[in-house]
Amino acid sequence: MSRAPAVLLLALSVFAPAFAQVDFAPPDWALRATFAAAPKENDQSVPTPLGEQLAQRRYHEQGADRAMLIRFVYPLVPDASAREQLYNESVETLMTSRPGDLRIDEPFAFGDYTGRRLLIEHRREKTHRELRLLLVGGSLYVASAEWSGGPARAPAADKFLSSLALQPAFANPRTVEERERWREIRAGNFKLRYDATRWFRDPQATDPGTIVLLRADELAEAEFITTSDRHATDSMEESILAGAREHAESVKLHRRGRKLRGAASVEELRFAVRIEGVTYENHGYFYTGPEGTVQLRAWSPDKTFARVEGDIGELLDGLQVVRPAVGR
């Protein structure tokens, strides 16, 4: 499944003047840079089959000198093992969006990270452009400097590219990858922490009370359903299985149990549902109480369930029930 930046051809095409010198170093960005003047901002969000893909641009142009730093944020976090594939797809997108002669394409070391360095000649504009691509955690950073004339960097381009530095909080790749792979959904008094390298939110799910997560290879699906209302009974087993029977040829309960999730004990159900000749194994956590009601259920066809059972268990264990603060 391709993760090349869907908005790359737009993100590298617009420049505008700015007026006050500034060091750009927001704490949630891995890279910092010094622009010759205050950079303009332009954020673009593009829908993809995996959800919204965001490109955050900070750019400055003064005469023929152009500088830009972009952060791409993906709905499905790129795994470090797919770094080279992501770089290759990004280079292909760059060369398609704005053709030129690729003079240099080589790896470069940046702290403990490995990126790609490109030098592109644009003969029609009589300019050269140097780019740095760097995957840090779940985001791809692209730094670009362009100048008129030959391949030797102009002073402004050299200053901009030389100013690039890692923020201290992003210095250790293993720590950053572990931190950025996790995302959290908060719905009322319920939280769900999930691995965004394995699961992504289904952009086609529009019910405000239901969040649908798909496994990256789509071998499993999950629903996170919450409401502020309390269920009529303390046990949800009967209603969950009755709801399944409304659409199924058969429902078979494998096991029931309880798990402590945050401040509350939740019901655990494992059951099989047969629909149109296909058996789906279901595993879920269910809770109702003064905090409201939550259903977190994941399923997969029985033939593939063993392959995804570990990921489903990890997803379920990401559920937390949060007690409301006293007095609220």
The fourth-level CATH superfamily of domain 8-176 is Mog1/PsbP, alpha/beta/alpha sandwich (3.40.1000.10)
pLDDT higher at 177 or 13? 177
* Residue 81 backbone dihedrals phi, psi, to 5 degrees: -70, -20
* pLDDT computed for residue 11 by the predictor: 53
Would the pLDDT of 19 be above 60? no
Mean pLDDT over residues 317-321, rounded? 96
The average confidence (pLDDT) of the chain is 91
* Residue 312 backbone dihedrals phi, psi, to 5 degrees: -65, -45
* pLDDT computed for residue 18 by the predictor: 40
* pLDDT computed for residue 9 by the predictor: 52
- At 103-138, the pLDDT tens digits run 999 999 999 999 999 999 999 999 999 999 999 998
Residue 138 class from Cβ within 10 Å (0-12 exposed, 13-18 middle, 19+ buried)?
buried
The residues with which 102 forms a beta bridge, in sequence order, are: 120
Would the pLDDT of 252 be above 70? yes
DSSP 169: G
pLDDT higher at 12 or 215? 215
Query: How many angstroms separate the Cα of 156 from the Cα of each of 15, 134, 183?
Result: 16, 21, 38
* pLDDT computed for residue 272 by the predictor: 97
The residue with tokens 């990858």 is 177
> Which residues neighbour 314 within 8 Å (Cβ) at sequence distance 6 or greater?
195
Q: Quickly list H helices, the chain.
A: 8-11, 83-97, 155-163, 173-180, 237-245, 305-316
Would the pLDDT of 72 be above 50? yes
Distance CA 55, CA 68 (A): 12
* pLDDT computed for residue 315 by the predictor: 98
Q: Domain ranges in the chain?
A: 8-176, 181-321
Q: Domain 181-321 carries which CATH code?
A: 3.40.1000.10
Mean pLDDT over residues 278-284, rounded? 98
Give the pTM. Answer: 0.82
Would the pLDDT of 14 be above 80? no
Q: Are the CB atoms for 318 and 194 separated by under 8 Å?
A: yes
Would the pLDDT of 16 be above 70? no
* pLDDT computed for residue 7 by the predictor: 53
* pLDDT computed for residue 326 by the predictor: 61
The residue with tokens 């879920």 is 284
Position 232 confidence tier, pLDDT thresholds 50, 70, 90 = confident
Position 80 confidence tier, pLDDT thresholds 50, 70, 90 = confident
Q: How many CB atoms lie within 10 A of CB 250?
A: 11
Burial 78-101 (b: 16+ CB within 10 A, else e): bbbeebeebbebbbebbeeeeebe
- At 138-150, the pLDDT tens digits run 899 999 999 999 9
Mean pLDDT over residues 218-235, rounded? 92
